[in-house]
Every structure is written in C-alpha cells, then in structure tokens.
C-alpha cells in the first residue's frame, strides 16, 4: 500500500480508504498533485491498517536537540522501509492525545524530516540517559502506551546490582557470578577486600567501563587503587576510605571479586555477546571478543581495547556456555523485569577455564563488527514486525 505524507498540510494520504498507526488514523484520498509534493512510503496492510509504524523513543541533550544513537536509528529506518514498514524518532514530550510529533529519516534525501505521526504500533525504548528515565514525562509516556496496549520494547536501563541479585537467586546462573556486594559501609568493604585481596569497584549505574577501579593489597597493609588512566596508593584501608567513601556510597558502587583472567597473546580478553528474542526464546545474534592492550582493567574499545574475531578463540565449550547463559538470562529478565527484546552480555574466562558473567546491558551500543550489527538490525526489524502482527 502506498502512503504519502504531505509536508505542507502535515497530513497522510493513500489511494484507498485505509488507516495508519495503532490509533487507526484515517488516510485521506490522494491526488497526483499531493503525491508529487509528498514523501512516499510502501507499507504493509493488515485489515486495511497500514504499517507497521515503529516509534523509537529517545531523549534530548543539553542543547535541546535529539540525542541517542543516530546511526542505529538510520539503519533501522532503512531496514524497516525495505520490509514495507516505517519508523520515526520521538521524545516523551512529543506525545499528543492521538498523534506524535516525530522525525522520519529519509534515506533518499539523507535527512530527518519533522512530521505529525500517528500513534505507533510498537515503541522501541532507546532513551540514552538514565536520568531521563526518572523524569515525569518518561513515566507518563510509559503509562500512556501501557493504557493503550501498545508494546513497549525494553522497559529501561538495568541496575548492575539488581541484576547480580537476580543471578544470585537463579541457580543456573549463580555459579557464574563473581562474589559481589553493594558498597554501604567501611567495615563490610574492608572485610570483603581482606577476603579476596583484589576486587573491582563498579558504579551500579555505569556504562562503557567508566568509573571502574581495581583495589588491591599491594604490600602488607598498603593499598593500590588503579583506574583506566590513573593509579593511587594508600598506606592503609582507613586512609583510602577517608578519600573515597563519599563517591563510593553517594553514587552507589558494587564491589566484585577480581578474577585471574585467561589471556590471549599475554593479554586478557572478554566475550561481548548480543542476544535477541526469537520464536519464544532468547538466542545469540553475535559474539565479539574484546582484548585489553595498555591496561587490563576493562577491555572496552573506548578504553583502548581491540577487536578479536570470535573464531580465534571459539570452542564447543564456549558456544555451549554462551547459548545457555543467553537463554537463561533472557528468561530471568522477562520474568522479573519485563520484556527485553534484546540485550548484550559481558562475560569472561578465568585462567583455570571457569566462565564468569560480568553484566547485562539493556541498550547495547552499536557493535564494531559490521556483520553482527547488520544481523542486529535484521533481528530487530523481524521482531518489530512479529510483535505488531505485520
């Protein structure tokens, strides 16, 4: 079905008496003149309802412009268009009673076009900042779509410690979680460090390896606090706590036992795994390897890590662990936190060959492996169409 959007009148047209979007917006009859000056889309028809219309929920930055993963939004729009659907990007402030003021990407013109859009058949949550998910407008948007039974794809960011607690109470995954506590007071952290000798300190709501430190006993009572770029030494735990207590308790940090990692060519490596919901279960979409270089606190690319093809380390045992971990983690998330159509998992391997799960990410950034990112776009589009009945 051909559907047209007229920029000047901000109205939608078609050749047939059909509707558009989840609120069944009536499409006006088009004529050659209107079609000439309009954006044209070829959409699927489901009982004379054109779609699917996918709303990508994002947020605004400090300069009040749209924020978020632009390359992902563009790639999704291209794939959705090729499958005879359409997507638009919007913020929670853009929702009206029966319409949304959104932005449609035109691949032909290579630009974003502001449009008056119908209510979507599905909302894909890509709000880029945790603080935006705490705003009244975001919470009102969630309630708005829930009341209308519009699927909301990915409820929100994941709290690292909450995920750890879920794992602790889930036998199939419990053994893969390093010993972990929430940093709340001096004595508990001191005892935890005394027990493990080397620990990681991670912000509960952090991302991309930011704010991660390794704390270790370096010599007797002396402590070393190592970050990605800086290192600090303290004569005793008390002097360390005096300097760091406000940050560790104010921002919410967890402490986690440090593993002795397996190494490839002398440097540690981790698994970065992408997963999607498919045919009633969670399946692996792609696996990337991240290897540390100048520092081995994290393997993230922005912190100097490099890409290694999974095939270089792949074994039958790795495949079996990753498939199991993805399936179990997906089931657990769905049961306890709501429907997550996609997530990524960071996992590792000890020098003794034991698997470790570090964390889950509800809103994966783009994968640097082109093949994995391409499959991701295809999996998301497939999932959008299946969930909307198109």
Given a contact cutoff of 8 angstroms between Cβ atoms, the answer to whether 296 and 257 are in contact is: no
pLDDT at 285: 97
Spell out a b/e string for 319-337, using b for 16 or more CB atoms within 10 Å of the CB, else e: eebbeebbbbbbebbeeeb
Is there a contact between 166 and 247 (Cβ–Cβ < 8 Å)?
Answer: no
What percent of the chain is predicted at pLDDT more than 70? 96
Domain termination site, one of 241, 257, 273: 257
pLDDT band at 294 (very low <50, low <70, confident <90, very high): low
Exposure b/e, 179-216, CB count within 10 A at least 16 = b:
ebbbbeebeebeebbeebeebbbbbbbbeebebbbbbb
Considering the chain, what is the average pLDDT of its residues? 91
CATH of the domain at 354: 3.30.470.20
- Token pair 């699917």 in the structure block, residue: 52
Give the mean model confidence (pLDDT) for residues 284-299.
Answer: 78
C-alpha distances in angstroms, 283 versus 84, 210, 316, 360? 25, 28, 16, 15
CA distance 8 to 55: 22
Task: For residue 202, give the H/E element and its range.
Answer: strand 198-203
Residue 215, beta-bridge partner list: 199, 225
149, 16: one domain = yes
- Per-residue pLDDT, averaged over 171-192, amounts to 94
Predicted local distance difference test score (pLDDT) of residue 86: 97
At residue 209 the predicted structure's pLDDT band, cuts being 50, 70 and 90, is: low
Residues 134 and 205 in one domain: no
Query: Is residue 317 a part of any domain in this protein?
Result: yes
293 in the same domain as 170 = yes
Nearest to 54 by CA among 106, 26, 90: 90
Cα–Cα distances (Å) from 268 to 125, 306, 344, in that order, read 33, 11, 20
- Kindly tell me the burial class for residue 382, based on how many C-beta atoms sit within 10 Å of its own C-beta (0-12, 13-18, 19 or more): middle
Bigger pLDDT: 211 or 338?
Answer: 338
Do both 40 and 84 map to the same domain?
yes
| CATH code (residue 78) | 3.40.50
What's residue 265's pLDDT? 86
Tell me which of 129-133, 296-300, 322-326 is least confident: 296-300
**Residue 143 included in any domain:** yes
Judgement on whether residues 49 and 145 belong to the same structural domain of the protein: yes
**384 falls within a domain:** no
pLDDT one-digit tens code per residue, 66-119: 888 999 999 999 999 999 999 999 999 999 989 999 999 999 888 999 999 999
Residues 169 and 318 both lie in one domain: yes
Same domain? For 96 and 168 the reply is no
Residue 300 in this model has a pLDDT that exceeds 70: no
- DSSP state for residue 374 in the 8-state scheme: H
Please check whether residues 16 and 128 belong to one and the same domain.
yes
In total, the chain counts a number of residues equal to: 390
Q: Give the tokens for residue 24.
A: 């069944």
Residue 155, exposed/middle/buried by CB under 10 A (0-12, 13-18, 19+)?
A: middle
Query: Does a structural domain hold residue 377?
Result: no
- Determine the number of helices (DSSP H) and then strands (DSSP E) in the chain: 9, 26
Domain limit, last residue, from 215, 230, 257 = 257
Segment 360-376 mean pLDDT? 93
Q: What angle do CA 112, 117, 119 make, to 5 degrees?
A: 135
- Least confident among 2-11, 62-71, 184-193: 62-71
**In this structure, what are the phi and psi dihedrals at residue 319, rounded to the nearest 5 degrees?**
-60, -45
Count CA within 13 A, CB hemisphere, residue 7.
11
Strand ranges in 227-341 using DSSP code E only, listed in sequence order: 231-234, 253-257, 263-264, 267-278, 281-291, 306-308
Q: Are 326 and 286 in contact (CB under 8 A)?
A: no
Is 295 a residue whose pLDDT tops 70?
Answer: no
Contact status, residue 296 vs residue 306, Cβ threshold 8 Å: no
Comparing CA positions, the residue from 252, 251, 220, 245 lying closest to residue 235 is 220
Residues 348 and 293 in one domain: yes
Q: Same domain for 165 and 314? A: yes
- Number of structural domains in the chain: 3
Query: Collapsing DSSP states into helix, strand and coil, what is residue 193?
Result: helix
CB 228 within 8 A of CB 212: yes
Within this chain, do residues 31 and 135 fall inside the same structural domain, yes or no? yes
Residue 26 lies in a domain: yes
Q: Do residues 34 and 75 both lie within one domain?
A: yes
In this structure, the dihedral spanned by the alpha carbons of residues 363, 364, 365 and 371, taken in order and rounded to 10 degrees, is -140
Confirm whether 81 is domain-assigned: yes
Q: Which domain holds residue 167?
A: 160-176+261-362
353 lies in a domain?
Answer: yes
368, part of any domain: no
| pLDDT band at 304; cut points 50, 70, 90 | low
Lowest mean pLDDT among 25-29, 209-213, 300-304: 300-304
What does the DSSP 8-state code read for residue 22?
A: T
Query: How far is 234 from 221, CA to CA, in rounded Å?
Result: 9
305 pLDDT band, cuts 50/70/90, is low
**pLDDT score at 217:** 86
pLDDT score of 301 more than 60 = no
Q: Would you say residue 297 has pLDDT above 70? A: no
Q: What is the mean pLDDT of residues 123-143?
A: 95
CA-to-CA dists, residue 274 to 48, 261, 364, 368, angstroms:
36, 21, 8, 12
CATH at residue 190: 3.30.1490
Question: How confident is the model at residue 299, as a pLDDT?
Answer: 57
Structure tokens given for 261: 């990692």
* Whole-number pLDDT of residue 8: 86
Q: d(Cα 284, Cα 211) in Å, to the nearest integer? A: 29
pLDDT category of residue 205 using cuts at 50, 70 and 90: confident
């Amino acid at each position: 079905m051909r559907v047209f959007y007229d920029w000047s009148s901000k109205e939608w047209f078609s050749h047939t008496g059909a509707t558009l979007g989840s609120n069944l917006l009536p499409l006006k009859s088009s004529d050659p003149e209107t079609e000439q000056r309009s954006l044209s889309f070829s959409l699927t028809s489901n009982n004379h309802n054109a779609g699917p219309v996918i709303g990508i929920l994002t947020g605004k930055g400090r300069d009040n412009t749209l924020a978020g993963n632009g390359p992902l939004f563009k790639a999704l729009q291209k794939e959705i268009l090729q499958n005879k659907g359409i997507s638009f990007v919007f913020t929670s402030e853009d929702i009206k009673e029966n319409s949304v003021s959104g932005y449609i990407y035109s691949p032909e013109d290579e630009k974003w076009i502001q449009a008056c859009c119908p209510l979507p058949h599905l909302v894909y949550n890509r709000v880029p900042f945790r603080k935006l998910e705490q705003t009244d407008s975001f919470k009102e948007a969630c309630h708005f779509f829930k009341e209308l039974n519009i699927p909301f794809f990915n409820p929100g960011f994941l709290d690292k410690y909450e995920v750890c607690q879920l794992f602790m109470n889930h036998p199939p995954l419990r053994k893969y979680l390093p010993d972990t506590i929430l940093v709340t007071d001096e004595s508990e952290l001191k005892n935890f460090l005394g027990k493990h000798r080397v620990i990681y300190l991670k912000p509960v709501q952090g991302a991309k390896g930011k704010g991660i430190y390794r704390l270790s006993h370096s010599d007797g009572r002396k402590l070393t606090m190592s970050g990605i770029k800086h290192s600090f030494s303290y004569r005793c735990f008390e002097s360390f706590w005096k300097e760091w207590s406000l940050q560790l308790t104010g921002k919410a940090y967890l402490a986690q036992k440090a593993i002795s990692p397996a190494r490839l060519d002398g440097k540690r490596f981790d698994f970065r795994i992408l997963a999607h919901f498919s045919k009633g279960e969670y399946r692996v979409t792609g696996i990337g390897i991240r290897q540390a270089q100048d520092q081995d606190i994290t393997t993230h690319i922005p912190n100097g890590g490099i890409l290694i093809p999974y095939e270089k380390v792949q074994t039958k045992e790795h495949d079996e662990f990753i498939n199991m971990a993805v399936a179990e983690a997906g089931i657990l998330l769905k049961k306890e936190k709501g429907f997550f159509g996609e997530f990524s998992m960071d996992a590792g391997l000890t020098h003794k060959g034991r698997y470790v799960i570090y964390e889950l990410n509800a809103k994966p950034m783009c994968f640097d492996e082109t093949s994995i990112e391409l499959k991701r776009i295809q999996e998301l589009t497939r999932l959008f169409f299946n969930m909307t009945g198109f």
